[in-house]
């Protein structure tokens, strides 16, 4: 009897220790996430002089609304134009990724052979080989796509599609092949089978692909800078240059700009966050 009580006490002790450790880890990671966000918000509310100190002190004078007005009006409302440009690029890229990525993942998972293996290896290589800037610009210029929406959208799709195809391939492996065979027996063609039966079943992985790629594309700084230059083509991340210079920086306006361009990805994350893990782990059951 005493031995059983000791075992129960030991289990309770281990459970309490695990709970304390988990709580501590949650607090630490929450602090790591919230501290930079707090720093941005606090300095976005300050005057130019106060923000130049780059401190975490509470503002002596609140100017958040005035700062937002200045940011939105800067350089002939460039931030509003950049939101439009980034939205067009992000939405168009995501639509292509959903359709092309899911179709490619379906083919790679359902078929086998040397050709399919080579194609799959090529997509895996796309995760490791970075895009070359100068050759990509040359190709875009040859097709008259440099500095155009179709050009930058194709670049974004090319960068994001390998990982998307891998996610779709793993998820489609959990869908029984017997479902395909039954649909074909009932007279479904290839496209009808995919878009009427398979595609609607991919909602969990659609959410994962949307949130991961949308945040990455919307927040991309380097590729629009190289492949979509020009003030009329500015994306949200490039508007940070509006308040930075070699000699002085309007830190209050810069942090306000950062705060404004952070809101859309944050809202998108809140909408799809519950489905991200489910979509990414679904393909691990069966591969």
Report pLDDT digits (tens) over 51-63: 989 888 888 888 9
Q: Are residues 108 and 195 in the same domain?
A: yes
- Specify if 80 maps to a domain: yes
pLDDT at 285: 47
The three state secondary structure string of the chain is: CHHHHHHHHHHHHHHHHHHHHHHHHHHHHHHHHHHHHHHHHHHHCCCHHHHCCCCCCCCCCCCHHHHHHHHHHHHHHHHHHHHHHHHHHHHHHHHHHHHHHHHHHHHHHHCCCHHHHHHHHHHHHHHHCCCCHHHHHHHHHHCCCCCCHHHHHHHHHHHHHHHHHHHHHHHHCCCCHHHHHHHHHCCCCHHHHHHHHHHHHHHHHHHHHHHHHHHHHHCCCHHHHHHCCCHHHCCHHHHHHHHECCCCECHHHHHHHHHHHHHHHHHHHHHHHHHHHHHHHHHHCCC
Q: Are residues 93 and 27 in the same domain?
A: no
- Specify if 175 maps to a domain: yes
- Specify if 53 maps to a domain: no
User: Among 44-48, 89-93, 182-186, which stretch is predicted with the lowest mean pLDDT?
Assistant: 182-186
Rg (CA), the chain: 25
Query: pLDDT tens across 114-160, in order?
Result: 888 888 888 778 777 877 888 999 999 999 999 999 999 999 999 99
Q: Are residues 6 and 89 in the same domain?
A: no
| Burial (CB count within 10 angstroms: exposed 0-12, middle 13-18, buried 19+), residue 164 | buried
- Specify if 59 maps to a domain: no
Q: Are residues 171 and 34 in the same domain?
A: no
- Specify if 273 maps to a domain: yes
Q: Are residues 12 and 95 in the same domain?
A: no
Burial 37-74 (b: 16+ CB within 10 A, else e): eeebbbbbbbeeebbeeeeeeebeeebeeebbebbeeb
Q: Are residues 33 and 159 in the same domain?
A: no
CA separation for the pair 25, 20 (Å, rounded) = 9
In the structure encoding, which two tokens stand for residue 5, read together? 């009580």
CA separation for the pair 209, 280 (Å, rounded) = 9
Q: How many domains does the chain have?
A: 2
CA separation for the pair 110, 116 (Å, rounded) = 10
Total residue length of the chain: 287
Q: Are residues 82 and 214 in the same domain?
A: yes
CA separation for the pair 7, 13 (Å, rounded) = 10
- Nearest to residue 15, comparing CAs of 26, 4, 23? 23
pLDDT at 264: 84
Average the pLDDT over 37-43 and give the result. 92
Q: Are residues 8 and 136 in the same domain?
A: no
- Specify if 220 maps to a domain: yes
Binned at pLDDT 50, 70 and 90, residue 247 comes out as low
- Specify if 245 maps to a domain: yes
pLDDT at 2: 65
* Domain carrying residue 243: 76-284
pLDDT at 281: 57
pLDDT at 287: 42
- Specify if 280 maps to a domain: yes
Q: What is the CATH number of the domain that holds 239?
A: 1.10.3720.10
Q: Which residue has better confidence, 276 or 162? A: 162
Binned at pLDDT 50, 70 and 90, residue 286 comes out as very low
């Amino acid at each position: 009897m005493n031995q059983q009580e000791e075992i129960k006490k030991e289990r309770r002790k281990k459970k309490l220790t695990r709970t304390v450790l988990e709580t501590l880890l949650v607090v630490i990671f929450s602090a790591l996430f919230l501290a930079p966000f707090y720093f941005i918000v606090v300095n976005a509310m300050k005057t130019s002089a106060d923000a130049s100190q780059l401190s975490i002190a509470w503002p002596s004078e609140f100017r958040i609304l005035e700062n937002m007005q200045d940011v939105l009006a800067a350089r002939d409302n460039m931030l509003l134009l950049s939101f439009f440009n980034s939205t067009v690029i992000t939405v168009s890229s995501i639509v292509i990724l959903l359709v092309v990525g899911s179709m490619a993942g379906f083919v790679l998972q359902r078929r086998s052979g040397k050709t399919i293996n080579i194609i799959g290896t090529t997509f895996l290589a796309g995760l490791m080989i970075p895009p070359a800037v100068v050759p990509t610009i040359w190709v875009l210029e040859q097709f008259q796509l440099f500095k155009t929406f179709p050009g930058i959208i194709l670049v974004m799709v090319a960068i994001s599609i390998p990982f998307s195809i891998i996610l779709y391939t793993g998820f489609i492996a959990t869908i029984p092949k017997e479902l395909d065979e039954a649909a074909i027996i009932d007279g479904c063609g290839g496209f009808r089978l995919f878009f009427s039966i398979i595609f609607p079943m991919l909602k969990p992985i659609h959410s994962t692909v949307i949130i991961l790629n949308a945040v990455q594309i919307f927040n991309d700084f380097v590729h629009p800078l190289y492949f979509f230059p020009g003030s009329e083509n500015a994306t949200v991340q490039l508007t940070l240059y509006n308040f930075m210079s070699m000699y002085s920086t309007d830190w209050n306006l810069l942090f306000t700009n950062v705060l404004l361009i952070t809101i859309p990805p944050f809202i998108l994350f809140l909408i799809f966050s519950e489905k991200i893990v489910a979509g990414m782990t679904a393909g691990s059951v069966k591969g």
